[in-house]
Structure 1
Amino acid sequence: MKKKSSKVYPIAIALLIVSIVLAGCGGKAKTESEQNNSGKIRLTIGHFDVDQNGKLFRDALEEFRKENPNVDLVEEAIPHDPYRVKMTTLGASGELPDLFVANGSMLIDYIPKGYAGTFNEALDADPAWRDSFLPNAFDEFINEGKIYGIPNAMFTVHMIYYNKDLFSQAGIQSFPTTWDGFNEAIIKLKDKGIIPIAMGNKSNVPVGSVIFGTLADRYTGTEWFRAMKKGEAKFTDESFINALKALQQMAQEGAFNPDINSIDGDQARSLYYNKQAAMLIDGAWAVNNLSTDAPEEVRNATGLAILPAVPGGKGDPLTVAGGSGWSLAYNSKLTGEKKETAIKLIKTLTGQEYNKKKIENNGQPPIKVTDYDQSKLSPLAIAYFDFMEDKNFSPIYDIQLSPALVEVIYKGLQDLLIGGTTPEELAQKIQKVRDTQK
C-alpha cells in the first residue's frame, strides 16, 4: 500500500485502543433488565492506552457520555499485552464486551464463531464516512466481502530510530544501506561500548512484530506470505529459514541489550533516551513517545531508517510491515438501540473531528484528514510522515495470522535470541502448527 499525499498524512500511530471490561467478562452474564436498571442504554467497552492518544481516546469517551446522557458507558483500561491475552481467552468463551478493539488475528478467531458484527450496512448508509478512509484501510478486517472492524489507525510497526551523534562517535557517518554495512555498524557500536539496538521483548511480541516481520519480508518477499496463507508455501522454505538465521546472527554478535527478553518497551526506550543505546527499533507509535519524553539532545539527534536490503532477498527494501493493525468492533449479540448506539460511538471515534485532534497529537489516522494545524506536529512526526511517503506495507504477522500461529512464532523467536532453538527447529515447529490449521 503506497502512501501518496504530501498534504494529508495518511499513517497512524497505533496504540490508541479500547479496554476490556473485566466485570462484564467473567462469571454469569447479566440479564438485559439487570444491565438497564438505571433506564439507560448500557454499553461495555474496553481499551488499552499507553500514550497521549490514549488520553485523547478517553477524553472522547467522556465527551460522548456528556452528549448522550441516556448511555451508561462502562470502561476499564488494560495494558496492551494483557489485553491481547485476555481477548484471546475470551475467544474461547464468547463473553466479549459490547464494543471492543480487535486486530485481524482476533477476528480470524471470532468471525467463524459469529462473535463480531458487520459494518457493511452502516458504512453504505453513510457514504461520506465510508469514503473518508484511506485506500486498503479495511483489508485486514474483511472476510468474504463482509467488514467486521473499523480501523482506528494506519501505521508501520517497524521503524529504526537512531542517534546520529552516537553513530558518528563510532565512525559511522550515515545509516547503512546494505545488510553487510548494517552488521558492520553493529560491531563498531559494540566496540565503542554502546548497545547497538535497544529492545524490550518481555512479552515476546515486540521482536516478532517490529523487527522480524519486516526482516522476513526482506528474504521471502510479500508474495511468499500470501502463498503461505493459501497453503502454497511453507515456513520450512529456505527463504524463511534464512530470515531466522539473520535474526539469530544479530543476537549472536551482540546487536541487542543482553536483557532483551526480560525488559519491556518502556525500559528499552530509557536505554535510548539515556544514550546507552544507539538505535531503538519500535513502531510508529514511538514517534509520539520520543517527541514528548526523550531529552531534547537525543530527540534532535534522532534519525529515521528501516532495515536495509539483504543478500539474495526477494523482498522490496522500501517495504515495511504495517497497515491498519487494530479496529473498533462490536459484539454480534447487539441489536436495536444498543447496536445503533455502539455504531454511533465508533463513528465518533473514527470521524474528522477526532482524527484532526489525533494527527495534531502526532498520531496517524486511518482517514483523510482534510483540515488540521500542521504547526502542532513535532519535528520528528513531520520527518516520519515525509520518510514514509515512498514506503509500501507488507503484512504484520500478529495481525494476519491466527493467535495460535502467532504464539508459536513469537515464543520461538524469544528462544532463538538466547540460543534455545535453531532456525531449522523453529521453522519445523511453526510449520507443524500451520499444518493443523489446514
Structure 2
Amino acid sequence: MFKKSLAFLLGTCMVCSLAGCGSSSGGQKDGGSDAAKKTESSSGKRTVTFYSWSENAEEEFDRAVIAEFEKENPDVDVVENFMAGNGYLSKINTMAAADSMPDVFKLPEGNVMEWGKKGALLDLQPLYDKAGIKPEETMLKSTIFRSGDSIWGGGCNVATIALYYNKDLLKEAGIEFPTTDAENPWSWAEFVENAKKLTKDGNGKHPGEDGFDSENVSVYGTMMPTDWVLFTPLLYTNGAGIASEDGTKLNINSEKGLEVIQSIADLSLVEKCAPSVAMAKGAFADKSTMLMNGQVAMIIDGSWALSNYHNDGYDVGVAQIPAFSQAANMSWTGGICMSPKAAENEDAFNFYRYYTDFNNAIKVAEANKVGLGGLPHTLDVFDGGENEEHWKASFTNIDESQNCEAFKNILNQPGTRVGENITLKNFPVIVDNNITPLLDKVWLGEQSASEALGSLDVSSELQGTWN
C-alpha cells in the first residue's frame, strides 16, 4: 500500500490540482452511486461515506475493518467506495471542486498538507479538542499531518526504512548481527567493512584481496540504495537532507549531503561490494529474492518488504539503517482525512478515529487470519504488554518478535522524522525533474557527486515547507 501511495505522489499529484483533473469513474463499488447512498440513508441508520484507493487484499481488509466498525456501531452504515489506480485522485479532485467530498477518505501523503492549506480538508484539531484527545499522545508524530495549530489528517500503517540482512550469510562470515537498538546502529564505515567481508567472487576472494575478480562475484555484500526514498534517511544520518529545514535552500549538495551520495555510489564503483546500476535493474532487480537466495547479504529497503519475507517463510534480520554521524531515519503514511462538510458528523469522526487506531487493524487481522501490511502508528501498541503481543502474534508464519522490536525502536527513535516527501513543497518537481537525472550519472560513475550536484540551482523551484 505504501508503494502505491508513493506512486500517487510522484505521478498524479504533479498534474492534479484542487480545481480540477478530469473525473473518472475508475470502477466504483458498493455505495459509489447516489442511489446507493439514498438507499442506505433510507434504512434508518446514520451514514458515513468513505472513499479509498484500496484494491485486492487491501480492499478486503478495509471492508473487514468497516464491518467490524458497523458491528460495534449498529446504528451507523459506512457507505464505502473503492477505486484503484490514478483515477482515484482524479475523482477526489473533481469531488473537491464540486464541494461533494466524502466524509472520510484516503489521500496520498504528498497532497495532505497542500489540500489542508487550501481549505479542502477539515481541520481535525477542534474535534480532537472536543473529544478531549491529544493526538500526539496517541499516535506517532510522523503520522499526524499537522501544520501550525491545524491537523489535516492522521495516518494508518506507517512505513519506514530498515537494514535487512541474510542471517546465514552473516553467520558464515563471522559477523555479529546488528543490534535492534535503533540508538546504536552500525556506522557507515562498519556497514561498508562488513559488506566487503560478505562479498566474494567465484574463488571465495573478497574485495581488496589480491586476485579478487569483480567481474565474477557470486555474493554481493549489499546493493546501492539509489531511490530517493532509500537515500533520504541516509542523508538525515549525516545532518543533511534534500533541502534545508525551512525548505528554502537545497541541502543535498552540501558537503555532508555530497558525502552520502558519493559513498552510496562508491559501494559499487570503489568498494566493489554492490552490483552496478545496470545489474541492479536487470538480474538483481528483485532484491528481496536476491537476499533470500543468498546472492545479496544486506539491503536497505522499506518496512513493507517484511511481509514479503514473512509470506515466503524466510527468517530475515532487521536493524536500523547505518549512520554516517548520527542515528536517524524517516517515516511516513498515507493520509486519512475528512471533508469540511463533515464537521458536525460525529459518526464520521468516530469512524476516522476507529480506522486510524492500529489496535483495530490488529483485531481484524487476527479475526480474518491475514497479515498486516504496515507498521503500528498507535502508541499504545508499543506498550511492552498485551497490545504489543497481539501485534507480534499477527505474524503467523515466522516468529517476528525480534524484527517487530527492531521496527518499534526505529519508529520511536528520536532521530526518526517525517519525510520531506510530505513536508517539502514542490517535492516531485525538485527531486524527479532536477535531482534524479543528475544522480543517474553519479550511480553510473560518469560524474562525481560534487560534479553532478555541486552547481545545481533549484532556487526557482524551492517554495518552503508545509509546516
TM-score by length of 1: 0.71
Q: Which has the higher contact order (CA 8 A, sep 6+)?
A: 1
Give the corresponding residue for 1:161.
Answer: 164
Residue 222 of structure 2: SS of its match in structure 1?
strand
Give the corresponding residue for 1:287.
Answer: 306
Amino acid at match of 1:208: W
Contact 2:439 2:449 in 1 (8 A): no
**C-alpha RMSD of matched pairs (Å):** 4.5
Task: Quote the Cα distance in structure 2 between the aligned partners of 1:62 and 1:131.
Answer: 28
1:81-100 CA distance string (max 9 Å, x none): x69xx749976995696343
- Is residue 270 of structure 1 aligned with residue 275 of structure 2? no
Amino acid at match of 1:27: S
Cα distance change of structure 1 residues 42 and 50 upon mapping to structure 2, 3 Å threshold: closer
- Is residue 328 of structure 1 aligned with residue 336 of structure 2? yes
Give the corresponding residue for 1:366.
Answer: 378
Give the corresponding residue for 1:6.
Answer: none
Cα distance change of structure 1 residues 394 and 174 upon mapping to structure 2, 3 Å threshold: same
Residue 100 of structure 1: SS of its match in structure 2?
strand
Cα distance change of structure 1 residues 42 and 406 upon mapping to structure 2, 3 Å threshold: farther
Residue 196 of structure 1: SS of its match in structure 2?
coil
Task: Quote the Cα distance in structure 2 between the aligned partners of 1:241 and 1:321.
Answer: 19
Cα distance change of structure 1 residues 394 and 413 upon mapping to structure 2, 3 Å threshold: farther
- Is residue 260 of structure 1 aligned with residue 280 of structure 2? yes
| Distance apart, 1:354 and its partner CA | 0.6
Amino acid at match of 1:307: I
Q: Report the more deviating stretch, 172-181 or 146-155.
A: 172-181
1:236 is aligned, of 230, 238, 253, to 253
Task: Quote the Cα distance in structure 1 between the aligned partners of 2:358 and 2:187.
Answer: 41
Gap regions ≥5 residues in structure 1 = 1-12
Question: Which residues of 2 match residues 133-282 of structure 1 at below 5 A?
Answer: 133-134=138-139, 136-137=141-142, 139=144, 141-155=145-159, 157-170=160-173, 172-175=175-178, 177-192=186-201, 193-197=218-222, 207-209=227-229, 211-221=230-240, 227-231=244-248, 234-252=251-269, 253=272, 255-256=274-275, 258-261=278-281, 267-282=286-301
Cα distance change of structure 1 residues 135 and 70 upon mapping to structure 2, 3 Å threshold: closer
Q: Report the more deviating stretch, 119-128 or 170-179.
A: 170-179
Cα distance change of structure 1 residues 381 and 423 upon mapping to structure 2, 3 Å threshold: same
- Is residue 73 of structure 1 aligned with residue 80 of structure 2? yes
Residue 120 of structure 2: SS of its match in structure 1?
coil
Contact 2:358 2:377 in 1 (8 A): no
Give the corresponding residue for 2:349.
Answer: 343
Task: Quote the Cα distance in structure 1 between the aligned partners of 2:339 and 2:39.
Answer: 22
Task: Quote the Cα distance in structure 2 between the aligned partners of 1:336 and 1:309.
Answer: 44
Contact 1:46 1:97 in 2 (8 A): no
Contact 1:248 1:417 in 2 (8 A): yes
Greater radius of gyration (CA): 2
| Distance apart, 1:283 and its partner CA | 2.2
Residue 220 of structure 1: SS of its match in structure 2?
coil
Amino acid at match of 1:326: G
Question: Which residues of 2 match residues 39-188 of structure 1 at below 5 A?
Answer: 40=41, 43-48=49-54, 55-64=60-69, 67=74, 70-78=77-85, 87=89, 98=102, 99-102=104-107, 104-127=109-132, 130=135, 133-134=138-139, 136-137=141-142, 139=144, 141-155=145-159, 157-170=160-173, 172-175=175-178, 177-188=186-197
2:402 is aligned, of 370, 380, 383, to 383
Question: Which residues of 2 match residues 28-43 of structure 1 at below 5 A?
Answer: 36-38=37-39, 40=41, 43=49
| Distance apart, 1:163 and its partner CA | 1.1
Task: Quote the Cα distance in structure 2 between the aligned partners of 1:73 and 1:18.
Answer: 23
Amino acid at match of 1:319: A
Residue 148 of structure 1: SS of its match in structure 2?
strand
Contact 1:150 1:329 in 2 (8 A): yes
Give the corresponding residue for 1:405.
Answer: 430
Residue 308 of structure 1: SS of its match in structure 2?
coil
| Distance apart, 1:376 and its partner CA | 1.5
Percentage of identical aligned residues: 17
Contact 2:55 2:83 in 1 (8 A): no
Gap regions ≥5 residues in structure 2 = 13-19, 42-46, 179-184, 202-217
Task: Quote the Cα distance in structure 2 between the aligned partners of 1:44 and 1:341.
Answer: 12
1:201-220 CA distance string (max 9 Å, x none): 8xxxx8211x3122112222
Cα distance change of structure 1 residues 309 and 73 upon mapping to structure 2, 3 Å threshold: closer
| Distance apart, 1:145 and its partner CA | 0.7
Contact 2:24 2:90 in 1 (8 A): no
Task: Quote the Cα distance in structure 2 between the aligned partners of 1:133 and 1:401.
Answer: 25
Cα distance change of structure 1 residues 120 and 112 upon mapping to structure 2, 3 Å threshold: closer
Structure that is richer in helix per residue: 1
TM-score by length of 2: 0.67
Q: Report the more deviating stretch, 358-367 or 230-239.
A: 358-367
Contact 1:19 1:76 in 2 (8 A): no
| Distance apart, 1:328 and its partner CA | 0.7
1:36-80 CA distance string (max 9 Å, x none): 4546458351234787x77533411344467567543111244xx
| Number of residue equivalences | 394
